[in-house]
């Protein structure tokens, strides 16, 4: 496994046919400080989705997780153990795990509105505009108070 995929995260990305390894993006997205991380998270999330032709692998993963418990369990385990844990460990204050999960819930909701429902004007907005508008909401989850 390590020879072909490097890590469990790499295996997950390959199994889900994701065009990227989410855990590889985390250091850049989180940066040295969480100041401004809300906008970086939104921008990176949207840029990756927009750069993936038809968003098929990620939409399939999301749809599978909504329809099949096994897929939901696998996605939840990955998000919890790799993405949310890394984010919560960087956060200060109470309820860090809950706040990290709210970041995920927010961006997943944006993915559903933009890429699945194609809800306008969210679907047609450029990445910079959405990142600018969504960033402060994510910052609220990232800050302790």
What are the pLDDT digits (tens) for 57-66? 778 888 888 8
CATH code for the structural domain at 59-145: 1.10.357.10
State yes or no: pLDDT of 109 exceeds 90. yes
d(CA 84, CA 90): 10
Is 87 within 8 Å of 25 (Cβ atoms)? no
Q: Determine the pLDDT at residue 136.
A: 97
59, two tokens: 């939409």
d(CA 5, CA 14): 8
State yes or no: pLDDT of 12 exceeds 60. no
Taking residues 75-101, report their average pLDDT: 92
State yes or no: pLDDT of 5 exceeds 50. no
Ramachandran area for residue 29 (φ above 0: left; ψ -120 to 50: alpha; else beta): alpha
Residue written as tokens 């968003």? 55
Distances (CA, A) of 113 to 108, 117, 132, 138: 9, 5, 17, 17
Q: Determine the pLDDT at residue 18.
A: 61
Q: What is the pLDDT of residues 28-76, one digit of tens each?
A: 888 888 899 999 999 999 998 888 766 677 788 888 888 989 888 888 9
From the list 102, 101, 135, 130, the residue with the least C-alpha distance to 115 is: 130
d(CA 80, CA 88): 10
Q: Determine the pLDDT at residue 52.
A: 77
Q: Can you give the pTM of this predicted structure?
A: 0.82
Query: What is the overall mean pLDDT for the chain?
Result: 84
Taking residues 115-143, report their average pLDDT: 96
């Amino acid at each position: 496994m390590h020879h072909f995929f490097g890590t469990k995260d790499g295996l997950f990305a390959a199994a889900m046919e994701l065009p990227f390894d989410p855990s590889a993006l985390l250091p850049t997205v989180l940066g040295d400080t969480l100041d401004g991380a809300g906008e970086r998270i939104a921008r990176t999330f949207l840029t990756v989705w927009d750069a993936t032709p038809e968003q098929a692998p990620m939409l399939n993963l999301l749809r599978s997780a909504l329809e099949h418990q096994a897929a939901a369990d696998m996605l939840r385990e990955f998000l919890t153990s790799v993405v949310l844990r890394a984010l919560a460990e960087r956060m200060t204050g109470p309820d860090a795990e809950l706040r990290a999960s709210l970041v995920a819930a927010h961006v997943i909701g944006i993915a559903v509105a933009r890429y699945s429902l194609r809800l306008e004007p969210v679907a047609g907005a450029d990445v910079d505009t959405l990142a600018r508008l969504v960033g402060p909401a994510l910052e609220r989850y990232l800050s302790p108070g």
